[in-house]
Amino acid sequence: SQTIHQWPATLVQPVGSPLSLECTVEGTSNPNLYWYRQAAGRGLQLLFYSVGIGQISSEVPQNLSASRPQDRQFILSSKKLLLSDSGFYLCAWSSQEGTEAFFGQGTRLTVV
Amino acid sequence: SQQGEEDPQALSIQEGENATMNCSYKTSINNLQWYRQNSGRGLVHLILIRSNEREKHSGRLRVTLDTSKKSSSLLITASRAADTASYFCATGAGSYQLTFGKGTKLSVIP
């Protein structure tokens, strides 16, 4: 069966520090991978998606970047965090047909 | 951008009652999905309905889709305290992307 791992679960970082969130998927090949951000009491905002190794599409201009160094690994990064980067970050995968998405447990990021 | 809009934003019911949540969207879709999110956790897929389907059932869940009105509803029958969560609709219009609404926060009172 397929599983998705996302870590860390919580993170408190100072303004200006770098960020690296990692997400890995097991039990499937060539998944579509996604990073979403959820502000408190809000819906999900798609940040990045990837349909293959090295292929990243950005949905919104921001202080963040994403990379896919391996088929089942998706990394969300920032060189210098801003206060506005605080939020709940969710990684997800779907099959190539792009139907239902399977989510990780999320990372609560607080920038102080 | 968010295409789906859930209604109501919050819903409080007694255990055993039915809960109905609605979703409206703006553009053509291939499918519409409903997800559940417990507080502080990831989303869990509940049910998918394709654009050529009108109704679908899964256990205590019933989903309807009206493409002419660009709307969907999720009915949870005989609610339980464990159904307390936020529920999101998501529309699939292309091959890779899902667009989520802001969700309905459901509280089921024991």
User: Chain B closest CA to A106's CA: distance in Å?
Assistant: 6
Amino acid B96: pLDDT:
67
Q: Give Cβ neighbours of residue B95 (< 8 Å, ≥ 6 apart).
A: A96, A97, A98
Amino acid B44: pLDDT:
96
Q: How confident is the model at residue A95 (pLDDT cuts 50, 70, 90)?
A: confident
User: Chain A closest CA to B3's CA: distance in Å?
Assistant: 10
Tokens standing for B75? 């009915």
Amino acid A40: pLDDT:
76
> CA-CA distance, A66 to B86, in Å (whole number)?
28
A67 CB near a chain B CB, below 8 Å? no
pLDDT at residue B97 above 80?
no
Q: Any idea what the Cα angle at residue A99 is, between residues A95 and A104, rounded to 5°? A: 65
Task: Give A9's Cβ-side CA count (13 Å radius).
Answer: 4
- How much of chain A exceeds pLDDT 70, in percent? 96
- How much of chain B exceeds pLDDT 90, in percent? 75
- How much of chain A exceeds pLDDT 90, in percent? 77
User: Chain A closest CA to B89's CA: distance in Å?
Assistant: 10
Amino acid A96: pLDDT:
67
Strand ranges for A1-112 from DSSP E: 3-7, 10-13, 19-26, 32-38, 44-52, 55-58, 65-70, 73-78, 87-94, 102-103, 107-111
Do A103 and B44 lie within an 8 Å CB cutoff? yes
Arithmetic mean of pLDDT, A33-37 = 94
Nearest CA in chain B to A98: B96
pLDDT at residue A69 above 90?
yes
Do B40 and A88 lie within an 8 Å CB cutoff? yes
Substitution target from A100, A102, A108 for chain B, most B beta carbons within 10 A: A100
Q: How confident is the model at residue B1 (pLDDT cuts 50, 70, 90)?
A: very low
Q: How confident is the model at residue B19 (pLDDT cuts 50, 70, 90)?
A: very high
Tokens standing for B50? 């394709």
Chain A residues closer than 8 Å to B88 by CB: 43-44
